[in-house]
Amino acid sequence: MAFEHPYIRIANVTPEKLDEKEGWNVSDFRVVVSGKEGSSSIMYHATLAPGERIHKHRYENCQMQYYVVSGHGLAGAGEDRAEVHAGHFHLIPKGVEHWLVNLGRHDPLIIIGFYDRVPYFKDTGRIYLGDITEADITAPRTLNAAALKHPLVHNDEVPHVKVSHEEGWTQDYFNEPLNRSVGAGSCWMQGYFGPHTIHMKHRHNNCEEICYILKGRGLAGIGNDRGEVFAGDVNYIPAATEHWLANIDDTEDLSAPGWYIGVGGLDESGFEYLGPVTDEDLKQRTGAIE
């Protein structure tokens, strides 16, 4: 039986064919969620091999956000020059020149990212601005976070958002690495789940949501769908659609970052608690990601 709503495995998504003449020196770039799934925005996944780079460019039509899953890179954004590592979130405002280099000698630089409120890549207004030079790479780093002109946040520094156990927030904690406080037009949020904890049934009446499984094994309910999800899987959830997420592993934590699209935080999302996830819900499987 097929799912009604998108359950996507990044490994199954076909990489894009990108033009090196437009500054794409990158091994693998995949558009994971887009208008094809009914989304107003794009989620992507990119892998840069050692030495690879995404050369200077800007987006005329959208904000862009990305998260470093693994690796060590050098990020340019306007006049900012900052080294980035696993756990960094970077917000690039509309119209700002930016670029990224993998500084690692052996390991790939892996990122997930988001083009805010453009449904297809052709709509981003991407303009190639030239190659990264040796002078760019050797330029002094912006070492003082307060001196950065564009938001760069590490997950270790992000405070927890206070949520209510009575309204179904039974997972360990929840935070918002990029929200309206740093100028984000869509909120990047994260839930952390210990073994057998659950974010109970709810919906967001004011926004779509994209949820990515960064770590662990879960069971995701969306409407009538019930499907197991693993690291590297993604769900797209339309606005006002009931959904929930359970960690079904006995020992491993579940980490699930994602976006509330078009709102600056949970408090703008139109969150509505709809009730507990039952034992019967946890037994059901209506499909599987092939």
The domain locations on the chain are: 8-156, 159-283
pTM above 0.85, yes or no: yes
Give the number of other CB atoms < 10 A from CB of residue 43. 26
The fold for domain 159-283 equals Jelly Rolls (2.60.120)
Given this model, what pLDDT does residue 146 score? 84
DSSP assignment of 135-160 equals HHHHSPP---GGG-SS-EEEGGGPPB
pLDDT in tens, 165-185: 888 888 888 999 999 999 999
233 contacts 289 by C-beta, under 8 angstroms: yes
Does the domain spanning 8-156 belong to CATH 2.60.120.10? yes
The residue ranges of the chain whose pLDDT is under 70 are 1
Residues 6+ apart with CB under 8 A from 35: 119, 120
Given this model, what pLDDT does residue 262 score? 99
pLDDT in tens, 60-101: 999 999 999 999 999 999 999 999 999 999 999 999 999 999
Residues 6+ apart with CB under 8 A from 166: none
Per the structure block, which two tokens stand in for 86? 């696993």
Written as one letter, the residue type at 266 is: L
Place of tokens 């799934």: 37
Positive or negative: CA dihedral 10, 15, 20, 25: positive
Alpha helices for the chain (secondary structure H)? 134-138, 279-283
**Same fold: 8-156 with 159-283:** yes
The size of the chain, in residues, is 290
Given this model, what pLDDT does residue 1 score? 59
Give the number of other CB atoms < 10 A from CB of residue 61. 14
